Amino acid sequence: MEFNNKKLEKTSKLINYLIAIVLCGFLISLSGKLIDDVDEWEERPNVEEFQNHDFLEDKEAELLKIDAQIEIKDQKRSSIQNTLRIVNGNYANAKKSFDNWLKARKTVGSPNEDKEVLSRAKELDEFYKTQQEWKIELNKISSEIQTLSNQKNTIYEKINKEENRAYNEQQNAIRTYDLKVFLIRLLFILPILLLGILFIVKFRKHKYWPLFLGFVLFSFYAFFFGLVPYLPSYGGYIRYTVGIILSVLFGIYVINKIRAFIESKKKELEVSTTERAKKVQIETAEKALDDHMCPSCGKDFIIKKWDKSAGKKDKTSTYGIVTDFCRFCGLELFKKCNKCGEENFAHLPYCSCCGDKMTDSNSE
């Protein structure tokens, strides 16, 4: 006896989907852990691996040496600047004193013949000469410091050039590393995807299909979503290309299945109604009755008619007439029970009124 309870059927479908989703979730978590661990198999390229450390150390030593020289010269320049400020003050004071004395001498005699004037002018010249010497020394120190700073800039340019070279080599190594890691992940995920496709094609009717469905969902998620964080710049081409190929193959498969189903239906309708009635399954019959359609051709067996007694305004109101035979393929739909005479759907095994078997052929 076949137990066909609709509520149990819906519950079983829900449980099956729940099993598939739970299994898919655990498989996704496990695969994510495995894919993440691929990065730990080999250390990611570091820029320090590609740098010329001896060259950089030499340049750093040169910079330290130049910095020490600049510091000494800065101290010397500061000392000269302090001395120059004193010399400038002495010269300014001496010149001011000379100018004042010279004005006073103009009022009492000829300053050109005064030996003291010449002596004071000579003393002032000595102050001026000392001032100029210290300015020359200051300019010399400043020039030396500028030369050392230029040397530092040259060294920095060489260091930057070396670091850029190391960085470019690191980027090339990272691209190679990412390609290697991606191919490892792809070699891990691609067979899973192919296995999921195989399960769809071969095991859709298997009694353990919920488990296969969980793996199928996982395989598609792993390929089309799980690989996204790890795709290199060209990885999208691989994913979209595989998606296009799968879409084309799936489309061809579905189109062929639909065409084959249509052809089989055409051939089925060519068989006698008696033979077709024997092949109707109970589940198909029950669904056909619920959807008021013929279990053989799938057409609606309720005929809509308009109530002729209704007025013009109510002309659109309709009522349904259920026929005993399908008006499209001729299959018998309703017949009376041999025991109680109650009319029943012909393709269900027992009478809904007395429980007697409808036909020996449909009870199988």
Residues 225 and 241 in one domain: no
Confidence of residue 251 (pLDDT cuts 50, 70, 90): confident
Mean per-residue pLDDT for 153-176?
A: 89
**The pLDDT value given to residue 102:** 66
- Decide if pLDDT at 309 tops 60: no
Closest listed residue to residue 219, CA positions, set 197, 186, 251 = 197
| 152-177 core/surface letters (b: 16 or more CB in 10 A; e: else) | eeebeeebeebeeebeeebeebeeeb
- Decide if pLDDT at 94 tops 60: yes
Residues 56 and 179 in one domain: yes
Residues 159 and 13 in one domain: yes
Ordered DSSP codes for 259-314? HHHHHHHHHHHHS-HHHHHHT--HHHHHHHHHTTB-TTT--B-EEEEE-TTS-STT
Mean per-residue pLDDT for 123-136?
A: 81
Closest listed residue to residue 270, CA positions, set 332, 329, 326, 324 = 329
Q: How far is the C-alpha of 361 from the C-alpha of 60, rounded, in Å? A: 98
Q: CB atoms < 10 A from the CB of 254, how many?
A: 10
**The pLDDT value given to residue 4:** 46
Confidence of residue 154 (pLDDT cuts 50, 70, 90): very high
Quickly list H helices, the chain.
6-37, 53-106, 115-202, 209-221, 235-270, 273-278, 282-290
Mean pLDDT, the chain, whole residue set: 77
Residues 162 and 251 in one domain: no
Is 196:215 a contact under the CB 8 Å cutoff?
Answer: yes
Mean per-residue pLDDT for 311-321?
A: 56
Residue 61 maps to a domain = yes
Residues 263 and 324 in one domain: no
Ordered DSSP codes for 100-133? HHHHHHHTTS-GGG-HHHHHHHHHHHHHHHHHHH
CA 101 to chain centre: 90
**pLDDT tens-digit map of 324-363:** 788 777 788 888 888 888 888 887 888 878 878 876 543 3
**The pLDDT value given to residue 17:** 81
Q: Give the lowest-confidence range in 52-61, 116-125, 281-290, 316-325.
A: 316-325
Residues 115 and 256 in one domain: no
Range of the domain at 279: 273-345
Q: How many independent structural domains does the chain possess? A: 3
Is 220:193 a contact under the CB 8 Å cutoff?
Answer: yes
Closest listed residue to residue 350, CA positions, set 358, 342, 362, 361 = 358
| Residue, of 44 and 158, whose pLDDT is higher | 158
- Decide if pLDDT at 162 tops 50: yes
Residue 316 maps to a domain = yes
Residues 28 and 153 in one domain: yes
Give the best-scoring range by mean pLDDT among 108-112, 118-122, 212-216, 233-237.
212-216
**The pLDDT value given to residue 50:** 82
Residues 141 and 243 in one domain: no
**The pLDDT value given to residue 8:** 66
* Token pair recorded at residue 211: 């488990």
| Residue, of 69 and 182, whose pLDDT is higher | 69
Residues 6 or more apart from 166 whose CB is under 8 A from it? 47, 48, 50, 51, 52
